[in-house]
């Protein structure tokens, strides 16, 4: 895991703590790791997540409630399916 940038590891750790059935924003994660204003960088880190679904990046959405992107297999359709399966709010 140390081969990944520290920023990415912090993003993934924060993401891993999002409870099942809940969502958080990219900005929330940025603030949580002490990097307010780094929401786009959080998105890049999540796009590089090699540990899905153990690190549930599908639980991260845009601040305005839009789903944002999903780089996993199946793209946004998969993100929607996973969130529905978890009954995410």
Of 68, 59, 47, the C-alpha closest to 89 is 59
Asked whether residue 1 is domain-assigned, the answer is: no
Count of Cβ atoms closer than 10 Å to residue 16 Cβ: 14
Kindly report the average pLDDT of the chain as a whole number. Answer: 93
Q: What is the CATH number of the domain that holds 31?
A: 1.10.10.10
Task: Tell whether the model's pLDDT for residue 1 goes beyond 80.
Answer: no
Taking only the tens place, the pLDDT of each residue in 37-68 is 999 999 999 999 998 888 999 999 999 999 98
Residues carrying an active site annotation:
57
Residue 22 belongs to a domain: yes
What domain count does the chain have?
1
Residue 89 pLDDT > 80: no
Q: Token pair for residue 24?
A: 């958080």
- When computed from its CA atoms, the radius of gyration of the chain, rounded to whole angstroms, is 12
pLDDT at 88 over 80: no
5-27 average pLDDT score: 97
Q: Which domain holds residue 45?
A: 6-86
3-state secondary structure of 74: coil
Peptide bond before residue 53 is cis, with ω within 30 degrees of 0:
yes
Average pLDDT over residues 69-88: 89
Which pLDDT score, from 0 to 100, does residue 32 have?
Answer: 98
Mean pLDDT throughout 1-14?
93
Alpha helices in the chain (DSSP H): 6-16, 26-32, 39-47, 75-86
């Amino acid at each position: 895991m140390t081969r990944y940038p520290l920023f990415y590891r912090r993003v993934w750790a924060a993401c891993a703590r999002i409870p099942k059935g809940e969502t958080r924003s990219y900005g929330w994660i940025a603030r949580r790791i002490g990097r307010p204003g780094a929401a786009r960088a959080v998105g890049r880190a999540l796009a590089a997540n090699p540990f899905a679904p153990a690190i549930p990046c599908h639980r991260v959405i845009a601040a305005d409630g839009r789903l944002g992107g999903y780089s996993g297999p199946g793209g946004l359709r998969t993100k929607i399916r996973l969130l529905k399966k978890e009954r995410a709010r």
